[in-house]
């Protein structure tokens, strides 16, 4: 939370995750902190969701 708070509105922050945003509440655990983090990230962000099979799989 401190990292997001320090960077919010003044610096670029890049996050990469394999989890959808809806799952972040469960992973972070505390609902109030999860809500604060997601509020700062989601409303001023570009979201790129990749679809399809993993390119890491051997063919």
**pLDDT in 10s for each residue of the chain, 59 residues:** 777 777 777 777 787 888 887 788 888 888 888 888 888 887 777 888 888 887 777 76
Exposed/middle/buried for 20, CB within 10 Å: 0-12, 13-18, 19+?
exposed
Domain that holds residue 17: 1-59
Is 37:31 a contact under the CB 8 Å cutoff?
no
Residue 27's pLDDT is what? 87
Work out how many domains the chain is built from and give that number: 1
**The pTM of the whole model exceeds 0.75:** no
Residue 10's pLDDT is what? 78
């Amino acid at each position: 939370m401190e990292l997001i708070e320090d960077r919010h509105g003044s610096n670029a922050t890049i996050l990469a995750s394999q989890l959808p945003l809806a799952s972040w509440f469960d992973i972070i655990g505390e609902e109030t902190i999860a809500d604060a983090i997601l509020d700062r990230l989601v409303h001023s962000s570009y979201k790129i969701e990749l679809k399809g099979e993993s390119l890491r799989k051997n063919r």
